[in-house]
Chain A
């Protein structure tokens, strides 16, 4: 428990920065929503979208026709950018979790205490998972407040918003797990944040290529980001594709198992 509490305290400062920045981003994006409804901007946006090749639209996560004047659809559109930031954060959390102690040399303190390596991995996993979940809860609350401000009386949004957030959190957990697994093979000369960024963008780009090019459509399976596109979930009325759920579970379980297994045998060098 002590490692868990200590880790959470250490993660607090970057967590606050991420929460404030992504939270503000959300407010900023949503602030444009009223202009969408008032001045026919939504029609304009739709006309523009008609001119863009469908493949390109798909690459930008607009495979389904978006009615920007609809609050949920508008939110679904901006949520993909929020998801991007959150996925990067999750990957960074995972990739830094273990190797940070080696980079900073603090592992010499931690592992000279009576703790097993399994316990270190467990505590790092839970503390980072906790921080990631609180981060999502904050974003969820901010979203609900914004929706309350902008919605028409009687407009139902809560169930769909919750579903989108659960889906996005699931993808983030996948990134956290993959990052954690990588964290056990990185050396003290690496940079957890860069690796985290790399994990997200490499998979994102591969997934985008898969979305554009039918011949390599399978590439989208490499990108957890593409599993949980908010607008797609919205279009499917909150339904997930089961194959994505299975994949996310498999990747997460495999990555975490690998992390435990590999960390047990790792030479912790400082």
Chain B
């Protein structure tokens, strides 16, 4: 996978996002704990975890919507609190839940957003509106959730930011729009924009991100390349048989499996050789051994370390 690290704007060496022991408590309840994150310029970075894990809290702290209880963060080498306005001249943000001024038209909103940034590339804006099928003459209040999200995406991208922060960007979009979103994101990423997105949908992260951070209960439990996460010696096994497999599973130490009409699905993390030899004692109609999806990998993290 090619990661275009651009040295423009003096970005070489300085991570585009860096958090140091970033912690946020809401009163006594946990937001994020001791977050240490480093994202390089040019990356397509996934931030994954279940709802309530602290993804939005982390993003809102980066944007100075909320103040950290302790720790610090910087974007493009600038402090997230003191330099937030300067950071935002080169940053686009798509919130998880899009709320806009209901009474105004989409075009007015986009013009308002443009007015914060000086000159806007009009043809590019029109292209984005076309790509995302945004109807600029509708009033914001009349838009569905998905359509509001599309406006938010266009608005975040229209200034060609150096960094895009997207909080659950695919939420509310239909599958066609989701795939269009990711192809546009891939496009701008190849041109040098750093994309940082949070998600609980692992398929999209798996397909598009270079690296992911997995967050659970406010803490990062793993940061790795997607390839590396998938390369762990874990296999997803699907087999079809009329035999009772419980003794075989005991021998293979497989604890969780699903069975529907003689089709068994399970994740196996032992040697493949052992798997084949044990299975060979049974009559197997069909067999498929695959890399686990990130989702299965992800569940594994939660089961291994989960205590909730």
Contact = CB atoms under 8 A, between A and B. Distances in A.
Contact of B85 (A114, A268, A270): A114
Given A106-B99, A109-B99, A270-B97, A115 B85 contact: yes
B186 to A, nearest CB: 23
Given A2-B112, A10-B103, A113-B116, A108 B86 contact: no
Interface string B43-75: 000000000000000000001111100000000
B99 A114 contact: no
Interface string B91-134: 11101011111110000010011011100000000000000000
The main secondary structure of chain A at its interface with chain B is loop
A116 B65 CA distance: 11
A269 B24 CA distance: 13
Nearest to B89: A114
Nearest to A1: B115
A241 interface: no
Contacts, number: 68
A107 B86 CA distance: 18
B84 interface: yes
Given A112-B93, A114-B85, A269 B101 contact: no
B115 A2 contact: yes
B99 A108 contact: yes
A119 B88 CA distance: 14
A263 to B, nearest CB: 12
B134 to A, nearest CB: 15
Nearest to A118: B85
Contacts of A270: 65, 95, 97, 99
B65 A105 contact: no
Contacts of A47: none
Given A268-B66, A269-B65, A115 B116 contact: yes
Contacts of A126: none
A193 B95 CA distance: 27
A241 B13 CA distance: 66
A270 B63 CA distance: 13
Contact of A106 (B84, B101, B116): B101
A104 interface: yes
A103 B19 CA distance: 29
Nearest to B117: A114
The interface centre, meaning the residue of A6, A13, A111, A114 with most chain B CB atoms within 10 A of its CB, is A114
A108 B95 contact: yes
Which of B91, B112, B113: most chain A Cβ within 10 A?
Answer: B112
A111 B116 contact: no
B91 A112 contact: yes
Nearest to B113: A113
B129 to A, nearest CB: 17
A269 B97 contact: no
B103 A113 contact: no
A50 B99 CA distance: 58
B63 A112 contact: yes
Nearest to B56: A270
Given A10-B101, A108-B99, A109-B99, A2 B67 contact: no
B151 to A, nearest CB: 10
Contacts of B100: 106, 109
A13 B102 CA distance: 13
Contacts of B84: 116
Interface string A57-87: 0000000000000000000000000000000
A51 interface: no
Given A109-B101, A109-B152, A111-B65, 4 more contacts: A108-B99, A109-B99, A112-B92, A113-B113
Interface of A: 2, 6, 10, 13, 104-109, 111-116, 119, 265, 267-270
9 contacts: A10-B101, A13-B103, A104-B101, A104-B102, A106-B99, A108-B95, A111-B65, A112-B92, A113-B88
Interface of B: 63-67, 84-89, 91-93, 95, 97-103, 109, 112-113, 115-117, 152, 155-156
